Amino acid sequence: MSRAGAFGERVRQQLRLKDAPPSLVTRSLRGIDLSVTETQDDNPAEGRSGSMADEAYLVSLKLHNYPDCELWDHGKCVMKADVRAGTTYLYDLRSDPGFIIDKPFHSMQFYLPRSALDGIVRESRLPPVGDLACQFGFGHDDKVMRHIGACLLEALTRPGEANQLFIDHMMLAFAAHIAQTYGGLQSAAASVRGGLAPWQVKRACERLDANLGGTLALQQIAAEFDLSVSHFSRAFRVSTGLPPHQWLLRQRVKVAQQLMTVRDLPLSEIAISVGFANQSHFTKVFSAQVGVSPATWRRGSLSISEGDM
């Protein structure tokens, strides 16, 4: 079973789902799995949720109201609370938290091993992080988590359009945010005094450019420079002004613009050739970066070329 499938199966058993939900996994912290999945059931099997005890945290972004939720901790009911959509809850899985399933639910579940917090500290050369501030039954109004959740929900909805580079970046951002906001991790900005050396920038860009599909993991590129993924990502952004996955999207659009000067090449074929899953995804990214759709840009480009003849 794949690592993504393994986490989805654990969640399926915990929430009594019929099928394992779709999951995304990154192993950018030197072999430590960070996972996220979307869980939804409009007609759930009622009863207490199953056990998911572990040396890890579960960070839950609620996408649906769940009023009068009966919460369990250490094997007993401890309180009832109204869970509101848009709030973020942190659970320490060592206490085997759970709830009574008796109404429809919809949320995103982020799996954060305790070893991942140690990995972030080790790679950033910062003071250690203790236990996260898990206020049982308390929902946080966390705008950053809502943004991260929205980005990854898109990927979970259309996994064919998500590349590993994007998943690595977003999951690292999630882990760093949780460690800093709820674990007291000091800002890592000062740990990067400068960017990559010129030869490193050139090599990294070549590696990304040669893999427009985004299947190359950040860990592989960072390992070539003997850097951690988090250090490499920050240094790359300092040097280029963009995180790796955004730089890759920009390159895809540039290559697509070159290909669109060929009149007979269909946009659907161009989209696939530069690494997009389909024309719809290509149009969305292109329009956001250029300001017009690919078809509109192509008509303008071709009319200018014909006018110069």
What mean pLDDT comes out for the span 157-174?
A: 84
**E-assigned strands of the chain?**
23-29, 32-41, 47-48, 56-62, 66-73, 76-83, 88-92, 98-101, 105-113
pTM, entire model:
0.70
Question: Does domain 3-183 fall into CATH 1.20.120.450?
Answer: no
Identify which has the larger pLDDT, 133 or 31.
133
Under CATH, domain 251-307 is a member of which superfamily? Answer: Homeodomain-like (1.10.10.60)
Q: What rounded mean pLDDT belongs to the chain? A: 85
Residue 278 has pLDDT above 80, yes or no: yes
What is the reported pLDDT for 188? 46
Residue 301 has pLDDT above 90, yes or no: no
Confidence of residue 50 (pLDDT cuts 50, 70, 90): very high
Condensed to tens digits (0 to 9), the pLDDT of residues 114-124 reads 888 888 777 76
Class of 189-246 in CATH = mainly alpha
Same fold across 189-246 and 251-307: yes
Say which range, 49-53, 89-93, 181-185, 193-197, has the weakest mean pLDDT.
193-197
What is the reported pLDDT for 120? 78
Residue 126 has pLDDT above 60, yes or no: yes
What is the reported pLDDT for 214? 73
Domain boundaries, the chain: 3-183, 189-246, 251-307
Identify which has the larger pLDDT, 245 or 160.
245
